[in-house]
Amino acid sequence: MLFRELITEANNLTKAELLKVRDVNRLEVFLQKIAAGSESPFTTTDGQRFDADPSQLEQIKQQLEDPEYKGQITVRNTQGQSIPIGKLAKTKEFGGQQLAWDADPEAGGKESFVVKPSDLWPGEGGNFTATQLFPTVINNKTLNSSEIGKTIVNIAKQIQAGQPADWATVDKKFQPAIRDYAGEYLGVLALINGTANFPNRDAFVKHLGAGLDKINYFFPAKPNFPLGDSLGGVDIDGAFTNMDSGNVIYISSKGGKKGAPPSLNNLKIPENLRTQEYAREIEFIETLQNPDTSAGPASYTQSLIGINKLFELAPDSIPQNIARGLPFSADDIARIVDMQRNRKDVDLKNISELPETAQKMLEGIDFSKYREGVKPSGVVMYLCAKTIVNAVNKTNAMPNFPPLAREILQHNFIQIFARPKGGELKFDVLWPNREMGTGKVELYYKGSANEPNKQRLSFSVS
């Protein structure tokens, strides 16, 4: 069968097709997949995976449901690239035919194959040294119990031996799962072994601070693991950790997804950026990364120490009602933190127990908008964090913050591609990961007056 004939049989999605309700409600399925993002990827008409950006859900829903809308409808992926919906294949879930490149007639496609990192290392995930990783994959019981798994093991052995990874003889029904899922750890093996195409390898090793044989490799227990509270909302496929310095480099194929990448304390500032141009921004970021914790955990002290630093570097960016209470002394910070952490007997009636500096900051505040149980210390921490975010994002208090943050992000995420080429499965490594810097970069904070320490300040990419 010709490839062109295959596309005709599989068909593609159009507005008219989506509005048809037959054996399945195609529109409902389509919108559910948009909302699910990378958890329920589309397939393009040329057989590529397409992870939709969930933030566009309402816009697309309106365009599809509006009978007067005649414009082209496009779908954006998590890396910011847009295609017409006609480039999305009408797969089996839309009532179409199973695609030949993604089909196992007896099992139901690549999702049915047990080859993801989360399948191999459930529970807490996999955390290995470089010397452990090859035997861990090659001897994995899950892989060695299936035909596709044995194929993956064979590829891992080829990589270990420095040989080309044979793709021509791999069963076509296995190929999508191996490329998209097993590629996440096979690519790391190729990176360790030096067989991946990685032009910036030496610079990457210098930034990480250790040879690739001297670091730990982490694979999450869940597919498309979303980094947690202190690490934001970007999906990762794994991470490299320098166990001596704690420096972490995240493996991400979804760097453009709207959300909060790792909090500031997890990201290393590249040495080449330590110039006079960025000196003020670096001083500010490093204060947020390493706040004085003598009064309590960083999640409590960061906003208080951060607002002091902002007051020192850019006092005009701080509203007068906040600035009149600054700077906080070390004793002020200790008293505010103690109230928030340890006092269960205070509420907004106890403002007089705050330091005088903090009381000045709360003069004239409408407390009716805060719910019962909020402590005055929590309001102070929340106002400080929001003032920092607004000063950086809206009043240009740190004009070089966006380009600096973009470079920091790009240097702390690495992307590994598994790509079939000329009968081989090859691996290309992208670092610095320029896709991390294609969106708008800002400071991000999701705490509240009730839970001001819920999350430390983070970078946000949208």
Same domain, 195 and 332: no
Instruction: Give 263's pLDDT tier (boundaries 50, 70, 90).
Output: low
Q: Residues 301, 381: one domain?
A: yes
Give a yes or no: residue 109 inside a domain: no
Residue 118 lies in a domain: no
- Whether residues 383 and 275 share a domain: the answer is yes
Measured between alpha carbons, how far is 456 from 445 in angstroms, rounded to an integer?
7
Residue 264: inside a domain? no
Residue 188 belongs to what domain range?
A: 127-257+421-427
Tokens matching residue 319: 């509203």
Q: Average pLDDT, stretch 16-42?
A: 78
Q: What's the predicted TM-score (pTM) here?
A: 0.57
| pLDDT over 70 percentage in the chain | 84
pLDDT digits (tens, 9 = 90+) for 405-431: 888 877 878 878 888 888 999 998 888
Does residue 64 sit within a domain?
Answer: yes
Most confident of 196-200, 306-310, 407-411: 306-310
β-pairing verdict for 82-84 and 126-129: unpaired
40 vs 302: CA distance, rounded Å: 37
Domain boundary residue, one of 88, 103, 118: 103
Residues 415 and 79: their CA atoms lie apart, in Å, by 12
Domain count, the chain: 3
- Angle of the 130-138 helix axis to the 183-193 helix axis, nearest 10: 130
Three state DSSP letters for 304-328: HHHHHHHHHHCHHHCCHHHHCCCCC
Radius of gyration over every alpha carbon of the chain, rounded to an integer in angstroms: 26
Whether residue 279 sits in one domain with residue 253: no
Do 66 and 173 share a structural domain? Answer: no
Shared domain check, 319 and 457: yes
Residue 39 within a domain: yes
User: For residue 287, what pLDDT is reported?
Assistant: 94
Residues 452, 329 share a domain: yes
Stretch 386-393: mean pLDDT, rounded? 96
Per-residue confidence (pLDDT) for residue 99, from 0 to 100:
46
> Residues near 385 by Cβ (< 8 Å), separated by ≥ 6?
302, 303, 306, 445, 447, 452, 457
Q: Which amino acid is at 203?
A: A
**Residue 436 CA from chain centroid, whole number:** 9
Please tell me whether residues 247 and 347 are part of one structural domain.
no
Q: Do 251 and 280 sit in the same domain of this protein?
A: no
User: In terms of domains, do 315 and 455 share one?
Assistant: yes
Best mean pLDDT range from 52-56, 116-120, 243-247, 303-307? 303-307
Closest C-alpha to 365, from 239, 374, 66, 308: 374
The pLDDT, as a whole number, for residue 363 is 92
89-140 tens-digit pLDDT: 887 777 765 444 444 434 445 777 889 888 898 877 788 888 899 999 999 9
pLDDT at 180: 83
- Give the count of beta carbons closer than 10 Å to the beta carbon of residue 257: 26
